Structure 1
Amino acid sequence: MSSVAMGASEGANNPLKSKWVQLALGVICMMAISSPQYVWALFTKPIMGQLGVSLTELQITFSILIVLQTFFSPFQGYLVDKFGPRLLLSIGTVLTGLSWVLSANVATVSDLYLTYGVLGGLGTGIVYVGVVGLMVRWFPQNRGFAVGMVAAGYGIGALLTTFPISNSLAESGLQGTLTFFGYIIGAVGLLAAQGIRVPHADRVQTAGQIEAAAAGVSPMAMLKTPIFWLLFLMMSMMSTSGLMVISQMGAFAKDFGVTGAMVFGMAALPLALSIDRITNGLTRPLFGWVSDRIGREYTMTIAFGLEAAAMFVWVMTRSDPLIFVLMSGVVFFGWGEIFSLFPSTLTDTFGQKHATTNYGFLYMAQGVGSIIGGPIAAYIHSQTESWLPVFAIMIALDATAALLAFFVLRPMRAKYLQAKVA
């Protein structure tokens, strides 16, 4: 029996070696670590009241979370490649849960930086980069869809916790909420990580899945190419707009006068956050699937342009609670797909051998976006006493990224791939 057939037989006997089981486990791991980023807006008001700090000081926590989640991702990707995803994902999920448990008892904002920010950032970063790097290897022919699915787990996972956390804050307070959900996050993620496996080399090469770029471009070689830095710039621009909304939504919803409003019998802000989780999750596999068929750059142009248009309509109708809730969902539908399009484009261009570490370098753009969209956006608001300049900047970034995808990235990447084949 050939090695390919043996690999297929072994995979049939062991469900953990099915790519679909691995995809499901990856989604669960991503869902488990999504809440620290996506429900942060629910914690800002109670934490400000408990610690007596300003919004600008508090948002540094969010930036630390994203910066460590992203700026350490090349090193985290290297560790995943060296020691295997099961061990590293186990460590990452435990650190994520622990960050909430320890945050429940902090007395100063500096302590919050260390617990929620540092531990949470390191934990979520290990899991995120590890799962994405694994999926581009399990699904070499449909990586846009596969990466979109696990990224959807990260985007939509907090849907399961948004209303429970909102209710728990009202009933049990900040400490009880962080402690209880911290244990849940850690336990669920740890259990799912135990089933994670890497694909056998023979499996990657079956069904015509041998790629010209399979040998892969090393991280150092990739960093010398203009294409990487263009992708980094575009992802930084798109990350900034989305993370501004995620980190500041509670604040600008209050200024827009919709925080206490009711929509469909539910409070406007948690309803908007829940709808955001759905659209932010659905857009990732959807646009990933679309990009597998019409091309990455065309899909980027459509999606990025959609977010720019939606954000413009959103801010122009900001005082209407119903439109605020609905348009927030459209904004995230135009944003969340960056987490399927960029890693897929990167691996298409530079190969899959170093995919995890390579994406770790690109994922650092998310950290840049957290700084601009977090404390810098809050500072601009504090200086201008208006959210309109902040939204104007975000709309401009989205529109520019859409134009760059079509007019610059598309011809540049085509020329690079042609030269590599030749």
Structure 2
Amino acid sequence: MGHPLSLLYRSGQRTDLSSPWKYFPDRSDMTNEPFQPLHDNFAYIIVAIAFFIMVIVWGANYSFGVFFTPLLKEFGWTRAITSGPFSLAIFIEGFGGMFMGRICDRFGPRLVVTVCAVFFGTGYILMTKITSAWHLYLYYGLMVGIGLSGSYVPLSSTIAHWFDKRRGLMIGIVSSGIGAGTLIISPIANHLILLYGWRFSCLSVGLLALILIVVFAQLLRLPDKNSVRKHTVPNELQEHCRCGPISPGCVGEAMRDKSFWMLCTILLCWGIIIFVILVHIAPFAIEMGFSETQAANILAIFGGAVFFAKIILGITADRIGSRLTFIIGLGFMSAGLFWLLISQALGSLYLFAIVYAFGYGCGSVIMPTIVAEMFGLLSHGILLGVVNFSACIGCAIGPVLAGRLFDKSGSYHEVFVLMTILSVITLMMGFFIKPNERRCEE
């Protein structure tokens, strides 16, 4: 019986439909032809599935804040103890992402995302049995953290393999699922808490993630190996990036490349700055005299702006290259922080949220594309995992560092001044990212 997507043609040739995964014509006679985008229909299905998974996974993860107060009230833990599992989960997401990226390179995304979905959903379900703090660290910090590691890196790497000229846009769309999930899942989780309690809400989120992600993960796959082998950076980007698919020893070659570690350092600083603001901007606004609702609106505006910022940055990366787009995004981050230092009115904070969204978006969107442009796709998953781990280290330590500085000074002003200085330094480092020595190969 034919597959539902069987009506696929290319250059007048019908594709081999003996397997539901064979959507591509034989390219063995096209070895001298530059790589073209893979079959649009199934490639876009992959994008839609990846976006959907990102909505569920990261929407649920960023819903931790709505469980925060109910946990405090029921168990009487300190804020440091209660917030610790979130930082632990982010750290494990980055650390585990390196391994998940490597597994994805070898076996494809289906296995990685399925296994991690089981960890993620089970972790949320087991949270309903929490009776002490170590349970929260085990179920959320460890299990949910492992589940998170099977989302951003494997999915972004998969999209990078499927798309050539529109890679930035497609990764931007998938990455925007983080913002969309925050806007969708968090209110649902909060509504369930108000109606039935936080334990029922955790159970619902866990079951939703477990069932839906496992089902949709079965459609994920990498394109055929021949296409990956011929995959090159788009012609229009060659003038911006002297790069190309590197040898099978590309991991070791990348590790010896100074620009690789410069990129890791930049994203470490980026993670510190971004999460300091995400965690502390609402308390800062409340200290300025604004209501909790107004403070929450800043984050809501930020989340909505991030959705569009990532798509815009993805399109920009396709047109002018990832490195230049990354620098522009870091410039927006610095400009937003300078604006924050002089902001006094609520409208100014809303404007800050919009500008700063481009600084946040540049990291998650450009990370997969700049790795692909600099080092090719042969070991894209593990290289992206290492770079992403650098960012996650910053995301984990940033809020803690800011909290300690606030405890000593009693003000956020010193914290934000330090973040502004660090942001300018990070922007300057962006100009020192050098592309790979070898030109793009066709």
- Normalising by structure 1, report the TM-score: 0.87
Matched-pair contact (CA < 8 Å) for 1:12–1:18: no
Matched-pair contact (CA < 8 Å) for 1:380–1:390: yes
CA distance in 1, matches of 2:69, 2:335: 30
Structure 2 residue 245 is the aligned partner of structure 1 residue 214: yes
CA distance in 1, matches of 2:40, 2:127: 35
Matched-pair contact (CA < 8 Å) for 2:59–2:180: no
Matched ranges for 1:108-147 at <5 A: 108-147=132-171
Structure 2 residue 305 is the aligned partner of structure 1 residue 283: no
Matched AA of 2:425: T
Q: Deviations 1:189-248 (Å, cap 9, x if unpaired)?
A: 222212112112344578987997235552222111101100001111111121223333
Query: Which residue does the alignment assign to 1:93?
Result: 117
Query: Which residue does the alignment assign to 1:188?
Result: 212
Identify which range, 244-253 or 394-403, moves more after superposition: 244-253
Matched-pair contact (CA < 8 Å) for 2:164–2:231: no
Residue among 185, 192, 196 paired with 1:161: 185
Structure 2 residue 31 is the aligned partner of structure 1 residue 11: no
Matched AA of 2:331: G
Query: Which residue does the alignment assign to 2:371?
Result: 346
CA distance in 1, matches of 2:360, 2:314: 12
Residue among 260, 267, 271 paired with 1:228: 260
Structure 2 residue 409 is the aligned partner of structure 1 residue 378: no
How far does residue 85 in structure 1 lie from its aligned partner after superposition?
Answer: 1.2
How far does residue 271 in structure 1 lie from its aligned partner after superposition?
Answer: 3.2
Identify which range, 204-213 or 220-229, moves more after superposition: 204-213
Identify which range, 172-181 or 62-71, moves more after superposition: 172-181
Q: Deviations 1:100-155 (Å, cap 9, x if unpaired)?
A: 22223322222211111111111011122110110110013322222212111123
Please list every run of 5 or more consecutive structure 2 residues that lacks an aligned counterpart in the other structure.
1-8, 26-38, 236-242
Identify which range, 244-253 or 332-341, moves more after superposition: 244-253
Alpha-carbon RMSD across the aligned residues, in angstroms, is: 3.0
Query: Which residue does the alignment assign to 1:333?
Result: 358
Query: Which residue does the alignment assign to 2:437?
Result: 417
Identify which range, 167-176 or 294-303, moves more after superposition: 167-176
CA distance in 2, matches of 1:73, 1:333: 24
Identify which range, 274-283 or 199-208, moves more after superposition: 199-208
CA radius of gyration, larger in: 2
Matched-pair contact (CA < 8 Å) for 1:48–1:58: yes
Residue among 318, 341, 344 paired with 1:292: 318
Residue among 248, 252, 269 paired with 1:237: 269
The structure where helix makes up a greater share of residues is: 1
Structure 2 residue 430 is the aligned partner of structure 1 residue 405: yes
- The 4+ residue runs of structure 1 with deviation greater than 4 A are 1-10, 202-212, 418-421
CA distance in 2, matches of 1:213, 1:232: 20
Matched-pair contact (CA < 8 Å) for 2:276–2:398: yes
Residue among 336, 350, 365 paired with 1:310: 336
Cα distance, 1:2–1:18 mapped onto 2, change above 3 Å:
closer
Cα distance, 1:107–1:227 mapped onto 2, change above 3 Å:
same
CA distance in 2, matches of 1:214, 1:393: 39
